[in-house]
Amino acid sequence: MKMDTAGRATEGAKYECLLFDMDDTLYPLSTGINLACRKNIEELMLQYLNIEESEVPRMCLELYREYGTTMAGLKALGYEFDNDEFHAYVHGRLPYETLRPDPVLRSLLLSMPQRKIIFTNADKVHARQVLKRLGLEDCFEGIICFETLNPPLEPADFMDALDDIQVVAGDNKQPNKADTTDAKSPILCKPSLESFEAAIQIANVDPKKTIFFDDSARNIASGKAAGLHTVIVGSSVLVPGADYALRSIHNIKEAIPEIWEGEEEQIEQVIQSAAVETVVLA
């Protein structure tokens, strides 16, 4: 089963869906959330996975670069830990107070007639917390997050009343701990092409009519490979695979005015009907 797209986009419109990354895309890197998250991961690697202190910073960065997230890389190397406990430790002590409501972005999002969906590597608890802090929790149709692409073994425990959503799981086979060369992570996440293909299937979108926003050049390249229109956020310079570059997400209307083209008559209706709680697709 897939997400219901009925009534969400105008038939024949150039763009029908907007797919947004969340962290460092909907808010700036300067909030310090990213740095705090990395410090928490390094602390977990040292204290709970017993990785040599001198190796932790290098290993954390290299696994992130190779696998998309440090967590995915640790799993690929055979380290065993509970996914929920990992997320709780890494995100549980973040300085969320640095995130403030963003009425400008909220107004922009609510004025867009297209479907709007979050696509993040983060877990659902973190995603909900960030959107709530930004005042954007009712601006999106749903959230494709860690649990969406990597569901627990018991579907009944995580469906969250999403009877009409197909949840795509990653490869649940355990890696061979002895073989750490070119190991494949059991975790499905950006920037793997498979994660984009799964997100497109879950969201039930036509990639040719979907715009993907992300702050990561790697994710932009994968999004383009998946057939999406792409926007690099946080940079005024295009990166390989990017169709547009936004120094700030607030510049979206100036950079991509066609999102609103031909939709003026529907904007007021969209704003009035958009106050619906965002659903986590997990």
- For 5-54, write each residue's pLDDT tens digit: 544 445 668 999 999 999 999 999 999 999 999 999 999 999 999 999 99
| Among 146, 172, 19, residue whose Cα is nearest residue 91 | 146
pLDDT band of 162, cuts 50, 70, 90: very low
pLDDT band of 171, cuts 50, 70, 90: very low
Handedness of CA 89, 95, 101, 105 (dihedral sign): negative
3-class state of residue 142 by DSSP: strand
The per-residue pLDDT for 103 is: 98
- Mean pLDDT for the stretch of residues 235-259: 97
The per-residue pLDDT for 279 is: 64
Task: Please report how many Cα atoms fall inside a 13 Å half-sphere around the Cα of residue 25, on the Cβ side.
Answer: 25
Between these two residues, 217 and 175, which has the higher pLDDT value? 217
Query: What one-character DSSP code corresponds to residue 175?
Result: P
pTM, to two decimals:
0.83
The per-residue pLDDT for 9 is: 47
Q: Which amino acid is at 1?
A: M
Q: Which amino acid is at 204?
A: N
Q: Is the pLDDT of residue 268 over 90?
A: no
- Mean pLDDT for the stretch of residues 80-94: 97
Q: Is the pLDDT of residue 167 over 80?
A: no
Q: What integer best gives the mean pLDDT of the chain? A: 85
**Quick one: what percent of the chain has pLDDT higher than 90?**
76
Show the CA angle centred on residue 244, arms to residues 240 and 245, nearest 5°. Answer: 85
- Mean pLDDT for the stretch of residues 129-150: 98
Peptide bond into 191 cis (omega under 30): yes
Ranked by mean pLDDT, the top range of 11-25, 153-167, 224-238 is: 224-238
Asked if residue 139 lies in contact with residue 26, where contact means CB atoms within 8 angstroms, the answer is no
